[in-house]
Amino acid sequence: MGRLAGWMQELTDRAPMKSPGKPSLRRDVERLFWLGVARGLTSEDAALAVGASQAAGSRWFRERGGMATFMTVPLSGRYLSFEEREEIALLKAQGVAVREITRQLGRDPSTLSRDLRRNAATRGGKLEYRGSVAQWKAELMARRPKPAKLLINVALRGYVQERLSGLVRRPDGRPVPGPATVAWKGRNKPRRQDRRWVTAWSPEQISNRLRIEFPDDESMRISHEAIYQALYVQSRGALKRELVTCLRTGRALRVPRARLRNRPGGHVTPDVVISERPAEAEDRAVPGHWEGDLIIGLERSAIGTLVERTTKYTMLVHLPRGEGYRILPRTKHGPALAGYGAFAMKDALAATMTTLPQQLQRSLTWDRGKELAAHAQFKIQTGIPVYFADPHSPWQRGTNENTNGLLRQYFPKGTDLSRWTAEDIEAVATALNGRPRKGLGWKTPAEALDEQLRLAQQAGVASTG
């Protein structure tokens, strides 16, 4: 005769649970694993350090998308620990009374009685208390995940997805399809291959821009960390995992900062070194000081980048091939036909920067590249003085270096940049200038530049009034 229906619920005062089989590794072991990852260990090394297998460490890291979430916070002392449950199991096997056990552990009798009843093993049809099984059941029942905010708020989810994966558009609103790309295969961004062209706002930009665009709608609020969790943690399910390709880094899994930390000219005369640059350029109080560089692609293709230090406004310089490139034989000291020889660079920069208002043409800071060897002629032609950063000092042009990193999402290394027209790269610049920036109080560079121009215009009117 079999057992009556509902016997387990009557015995344990809890709904039936599936058999655990071999109990999984305890939550506190996984917590120690994530603390090791936060210190910069790889998932395999962190797993070995806590006594788990390398496969378990890889699985933990993959399932949580490289994010520890709550795992670095220790449990409150109100809950029984695994060590306490092991002690309970030993004392219970020795026949020690419940109240004596609670006196030894310093716990309330009702807490112990409830744990003995609810978390005991029931395989044999009776209650047998074992520490590992009790811990497994307690951790399983403690999981009460609430629905993700992006899962239940359709308007908020649509806003986030549009800012992550929206189309890049020309100034007149027409979409730019960008390069053809292969389907995402769950891996990091492809090396030296094209990536999708999307608006690609960062989660922090999205989170803070919501407060500006919806100041009175509290339902349109979400933290940047919640967006990252929706992208990376499999169990969240609010956003499609392939949207991680829209982030600048393009990583399939998040990488702890500590691990990142562990990885391993003759044309420049004394009067144009960066120490000679006006002091007003350093504190970014006065707009009109620019930083510039090249991003290089396949077959000696390049695009010039200019970033205004105060507003972070970006301009891209189209550098087309010279006539006869790859056709005429190369000659020593002949013209540079790749598009960024000294004189071609000078002319392209001059054509771009002379379109700016006079008050935005104060200075240009470049790296030590010889593409701007004709800086003296550039200054004569435009009136804009050029200064050069110190060797191996990219932080002296930090705004430009950061912008170049953003641009690599659209123009990856190892791709031919000469295929893009001036209109195409202008569309990318428009996309970047339409992203809100933390350093601008979550205004966009375009908004910040317009504000600076209005202030300058008002000051000019006041001085002539």
Domain edges within the chain: 7-142, 149-261, 270-464
Q: Is the pLDDT of residue 137 over 50?
A: yes
Joined together, the tokens standing for residue 431 give 């996309």
What is the rounded radius of gyration, in angstroms, for the C-alpha atoms of the chain?
Answer: 31
- pLDDT class of 96 with cuts at 50, 70, 90: confident
- Which pLDDT score, from 0 to 100, does residue 23 have? 52
- CA-CA-CA-CA torsion sign (67, 73, 78, 80): positive
Q: 0.75 cut: is pTM over it?
A: no
User: Are 305 and 314 spatial neighbours (Cβ–Cβ below 8 Å)?
Assistant: yes
Joined together, the tokens standing for residue 389 give 């950063």
- CATH number of the domain located at residue range(s) 270-464 in this protein: 3.30.420.10
Tens digit of each residue's pLDDT (9 = 90 or more) over 32-60: 888 888 777 888 888 898 888 888 888 88
Nearest alpha-carbon partner for 308 in 359, 348, 371, 374: 359
Other residues' Cβ atoms within 10 Å of the Cβ of residue 330: 8
Tens digit of each residue's pLDDT (9 = 90 or more) over 290-326: 999 999 998 888 999 999 999 999 999 998 876 656 5
- pLDDT class of 385 with cuts at 50, 70, 90: very high
How far apart, in whole angstroms, are the C-alpha atoms of residue 370 and residue 279? 25
Rounded to 10°, the helix 109-118/131-142 angle is: 90
Other residues' Cβ atoms within 10 Å of the Cβ of residue 149: 18
- pLDDT (mean) for 225-248: 82
- Which pLDDT score, from 0 to 100, does residue 45 have? 87
Beta bridge partners of 290: 308, 364
Query: Which comes out higher in pLDDT, residue 134 or 196?
Result: 196
- pLDDT class of 191 with cuts at 50, 70, 90: confident
- Which pLDDT score, from 0 to 100, does residue 261 have? 45
User: Are 362 and 281 spatial neighbours (Cβ–Cβ below 8 Å)?
Assistant: yes
Q: Is the pLDDT of residue 333 over 70?
A: no
Q: Which of 72-86, 290-304, 402-416 shows the lowest mean pLDDT across its residues?
A: 72-86
Tokens 């558009």, located at residue: 169
User: Are 379 and 362 spatial neighbours (Cβ–Cβ below 8 Å)?
Assistant: no
Return the H-helix or E-strand segment holding 71: none
Nearest alpha-carbon partner for 336 in 305, 364, 294, 307: 294
- pLDDT (mean) for 175-187: 87
Q: Is the pLDDT of residue 401 over 70?
A: yes
Q: For the chain, how many residues are written?
A: 465
DSSP string, 379-441: HHHH---EEEPPTT-GGGGHHHHHHHHHHTTTS-TTS-GGGS-HHHHHHHHHHHHTS-BGGGT
DSSP state of 247: S
Tens digit of each residue's pLDDT (9 = 90 or more) over 98-132: 888 888 888 888 888 888 877 777 766 667 787 77
- Which pLDDT score, from 0 to 100, does residue 262 have? 43
- pLDDT class of 1 with cuts at 50, 70, 90: very low
Q: Is the pLDDT of residue 279 over 80?
A: yes
Q: Is the pLDDT of residue 395 over 70?
A: yes
